[in-house]
Amino acid sequence: MYKKIFAFVCALVMSAGICSPMDTALAVYADSNEVTAVSEDEQYAEILYDEEYGRYYILDNEGNKLPVNMSYDTDRECFVTSDNKRLNLVQNAKIEVPEHEYPDDSMYAELPDGNAMLFRNMQYYNSIYEEAEGHKITAIGYGFLTPWIHDDNYKYIDDNKPELGIKLTVPDNITYCGPRSLLTWGLDELYLSKNLLCIEESAFMVYDGTLMNNDTFSDLELNDGLKYIGSKAFFGYSALKEVEIPASVEYIGDYSLGYYTDIEKLEKDIENKEEGVTYDSRSSEKYYKKVDNFTIYGYRGTEAENYAKKNDFKFVALDKEEEHITGDVNGDNDINVTDVNLIAAHVKGIRALSGESQNFGDVNSDGDINVTDISLIAAHVKGIRALSERRTEGTV
């Protein structure tokens, strides 16, 4: 009976136009005390783990890795993945929270390591619990957040002053935020887990069931150890002008940072009756706009720098470029008799300097290392004439 009522609620929400079928992932289906008959040919989706990026995924029939998205199948009365496989989900026993009017029936899936991915709380609470039926909750699944309910992990900064805005807190027990797991309507402060490994596609995107951007949130702090940022993970934050990306991040998806919807252009095209343009077109790349002067702080040679270059964003390196003294061919930050001997051995053909060492052995920059360079370095070591020229390491 409970499931029938839930299916009816999902259908009612969709028919009212409040959200799409993919947005009605309000809960998982099977519960601990009730077993639903399943046909012999019913296919279950197994949630797997990608250690490289800290991601959870499922495999389609061709063996492709897919994010753990889901929607509610009213005919089968269960939640299914994007390739129509049934998700093996469990309804938790009631969780008693003193501040809550009702006990909470949390919905989760058991993960390969025995921990749990939390999908939805049946009472619409935004509580990210630490455990469910003995399973530590380490992941937040598709469609978890109910953005119109303010309590627990998604609530007013100050209950007595709602005008200060809303904050979202992802506790430190969480390592994974799934696709569209924490969409928000309003967000002014965000506190992420210090142990996040993966932020999936559209995880914190400004909720696209409404035509708006977030023009108040401006401070995003990402933890060291984070590996993966999916496409459009932080799409829609027009006031977010800069972000520091840790060196640990190995993948950043398209439009994940520094983009929002050009609502003005969209509304103008609708007003001009552009062919095929509706408010649903907000999801089209045609209406993606860059945040003005968006700046990425990061480390040279990392994914942060790659993403900045790919999107023509300003990049500010946090690692200082190492300096190397001209004449210091062995790189010990000192010019002494050892350097004289090394260059002399190179000139005499006894032992050649490496390519990088040659850059700093050619002290007069004539393109050749010879007795002149030996004489100049020797004069520096003897205190006759100092070598004042310095070069940046790796340059000629």
Q: In whole numbers, what is the pLDDT of the chain averaged over residues?
A: 81
Share of the chain residues as helix, strand and coil, in percent rounded to the nearest 5: 20, 25, 55
Same-domain status, 303 and 353: no
Query: Does 304 lie in the same domain as 179?
Result: yes
Give 275's pLDDT tier (boundaries 50, 70, 90): confident
Pair 217, 186 in one domain: yes
Convert the pLDDT of each residue in 323-336 to its tens digit. Answer: 667 878 787 778 88
For the chain, the domain total comes to 2
Look at residue 297 in the predicted model and tell me its pLDDT. 97
Looking up residue 330, the CATH number of its domain turns out to be: 1.10.1330.10
Last residue of a domain, one of 275, 292, 317: 317
User: In the listed set 258, 289, 317, which residue is the last one of a domain according to the structure?
Assistant: 317
Instruction: Please tell me whether residues 57 and 123 are part of one structural domain.
Output: yes
Together in a domain, 336 and 304 = no
* Residues 236, 376 share a domain: no
pLDDT tens digit string along 350-383? Answer: 888 776 677 787 878 787 888 887 888 888 878 8
> Could you tell me if 348 and 300 lie in one domain?
no
211 lies in the same domain as 333: no
Residue 348 and residue 309 share a domain:
no
Question: Range of 278's domain?
Answer: 2-317
SS3 367: coil
Give 199-241 pLDDT, tens digit per residue. 999 999 997 666 678 999 999 999 999 999 999 999 999 999 9
**Does one domain contain both 170 and 263?**
yes
Same-domain pairing of 115 and 169: yes
Rounded-to-integer distance, Cα 167 and Cα 277, Å = 34
Q: What are the contacts of 77-82 at 24+ separation with CB within 8 A?
A: 77/3, 77/4, 77/7, 77/29, 77/36, 78/29, 78/30, 78/36, 79/25, 79/27, 79/28, 79/29, 80/45, 81/45
* pLDDT tens column, 108-145: 899 999 999 998 777 677 889 898 888 899 999 998 88
Final residue before a domain boundary, out of 317, 334, 356: 317
Neighbouring-strand partners of residue 56: 49
199 and 249 in a single domain? The answer is: yes
How much is the pLDDT for 301?
93
Please check whether residue 48 is in contact with residue 41, taking contact to mean a CB–CB distance below 8 angstroms.
no
| Confidence class for position 34, pLDDT limits 50, 70, 90 | very low
